[in-house]
Amino acid sequence: MVLVQLVPASRTAGAAPRPSELLALAHNSSIEARQRLLLGVVALCDACPPSGELSPVLSEIFLTLARQAEREVRKVLSERLAHAEWAPAALVNVLALDEIEIARPILERSPILQDEDLLRVLIEASLEHQIAVARRPRISGRVADAVIDQAEPAVLMALTTNRTAEISAEGVRRLVEHSRRIAALRGPLTRHPLLTEALAEQLYQWVGTALRQAIAARFTVDEQALGAAVYDAVEGVIRPPVPEEGPVDQGDRDEMERRLIDKLQSAGQLRAGLLIRAVREKRLSLFEHGLSALGGFTVGQVRTALSAPTPEALYYACAAVGIDRAVFPTLLVELRKLNESLPGDRGEPVWLRGALSQGSAARAFKVLIGADHGELQTAV
């Protein structure tokens, strides 16, 4: 790495260098030339008026500098041009896609960047570049929507804390929905100026006590009613209902389990841990409906996997909702006790092959089960 030392310029302090001098320096790779080029560009930035377009010659000088200059030169150039309304758009875009320490001043402040430029950065650049875009003052709703679409937790956090961003009502709703899985969004959202009372009630269901108090203080929220709804949903899992006197019809029990799962899912309290607890409590129907709701499967598909001659499809369904493969063998033993020794033990233990993403597991499950919920198919 070449260290560039700034030395006093030979011409009068504050005087802008001539374009011909800068162009010659831009094509000279010596250390002395790069020093003089940096000083000349800095002087030009200071002397150039904030309005009016640069001549083609000066634009070529800037572009040549950005493409050939050392890192420290590009960094100083980025800082100098971050507020410049006259900077060449092509140069600004080159700097915006440079390494993040160089790109950050441009991404966060340059008035030259348009929505199309920022969208390109979101698609092509690193996570740090995306965060800088999300922090940019007064970004448009179009850019904010693109950030929400990508759903990167760190970038969503930067957007949520950017109070000047133009986020639509639908965008705020989607941020609240993302906060169900990204806990870091919840605090900023409770204080966000665009949060509505309806969305505050939804957010209330999955925040902690301190944030619930903050929401209740800001909005007209029936804290007692909402708190009771969440408590009832969780309590229904931790403490199963006391059995009624006399036998309960299997159809009625199945409907009760389905309603409980719907209630937990509406309250944002449905988790993979519920499935394991349901099996331990010998509630096979609760397991079936819970796995169906969490995985986006039909109950018929889940029951087909449970009655199959091999546990492969059931393993994929469990992996798709986040049940660890190390837990599955024990879970399988308990399920067989509840389900007449099914699924069977034919085939290889697929859970020993290695980790599988939830998306891949869901696709493998649907391939094995088949769209018609018919006989279990052989995986391709």
Distance from the Cα of residue 287 to its chain's centroid = 29
Residue 208 domain-assigned (yes or no): yes
265-276 mean pLDDT: 82
Final residue before a domain boundary, out of 111, 135, 151: 111
Final residue before a domain boundary, out of 111, 128, 143: 111
- 118 and 100 housed in the same domain: no
Categorize the per-residue pLDDT at 102 as very low, low, confident or very high, splitting at 50, 70 and 90: very high
Q: Which of 86-90, 167-171, 295-299 has the lowest mean pLDDT?
A: 86-90
- Which range in 220-229, 251-260, 301-310 is most confidently predicted, on average pLDDT? 301-310
Residue 210 domain-assigned (yes or no): yes
- 73 and 138 housed in the same domain: no
- Select from 209, 164, 199, 208 the least CA-distant residue to 178: 199
Is the predicted pLDDT of residue 139 greater than 50, yes or no? Answer: yes
pLDDT of 147 reads 95
pLDDT of 224 reads 52
Q: Give dist(CA 11, CA 180) in Å, integer.
A: 62
pLDDT of 51 reads 53
Final residue before a domain boundary, out of 77, 111, 145: 111
- 42 and 85 housed in the same domain: yes
pLDDT of 37 reads 75
What is residue 194's DSSP assignment?
T
- Burial of residue 118 (CB within 10 Å: 0-12, 13-18, 19+) is buried
pLDDT of 286 reads 92
Categorize the per-residue pLDDT at 235 as very low, low, confident or very high, splitting at 50, 70 and 90: very low
pLDDT of 30 reads 76
Q: Give dist(CA 80, CA 69) in Å, integer.
A: 15
- 214 and 164 housed in the same domain: yes
Q: Which of 90-99, 242-251, 359-368 has the lowest mean pLDDT?
A: 242-251
Q: Which of 32-41, 194-203, 269-278, 366-375 has the lowest mean pLDDT?
A: 366-375
DSSP for 29-58 reads: -SHHHHHHHHHHHHHHHHHS-SSSPPPHHH
**Of residues 124 and 63, which shows the higher confidence score?**
124
- 140 and 38 housed in the same domain: no
Residues 10-59: tens digit of each pLDDT: 444 446 677 677 778 777 777 677 667 766 766 766 675 545 556 666 67
Q: How many domains does the chain have?
A: 3
- 32 and 103 housed in the same domain: yes
- 118 and 105 housed in the same domain: no
Residue 331 domain-assigned (yes or no): yes
- Percent of the chain at pLDDT exceeding 90: 38
- 6 and 106 housed in the same domain: yes
Mean pLDDT of the chain: 80
- Select from 177, 171, 165, 169 the least CA-distant residue to 148: 171
Residue 228 domain-assigned (yes or no): no
Is the predicted pLDDT of residue 257 greater than 60, yes or no? Answer: yes
Residue 271 domain-assigned (yes or no): no
- 197 and 102 housed in the same domain: no
Q: Give dist(CA 83, CA 70) in Å, integer.
A: 22
Residue 32 domain-assigned (yes or no): yes
- 5 and 105 housed in the same domain: yes
pLDDT of 221 reads 57
Domain that holds residue 376: 279-380
Residue 233 domain-assigned (yes or no): no
Q: Give dist(CA 230, CA 221) in Å, integer.
A: 14
Residue 240 domain-assigned (yes or no): no
- Work out the number of other CB atoms within 10 angstroms of the CB of residue 267: 18
Are the CB atoms for 147 and 141 separated by under 8 Å?
Answer: no
- 118 and 107 housed in the same domain: no
- 84 and 107 housed in the same domain: yes
pLDDT of 267 reads 72
pTM assigned to the model: 0.54
**What is the SS3 assignment for 141?**
helix
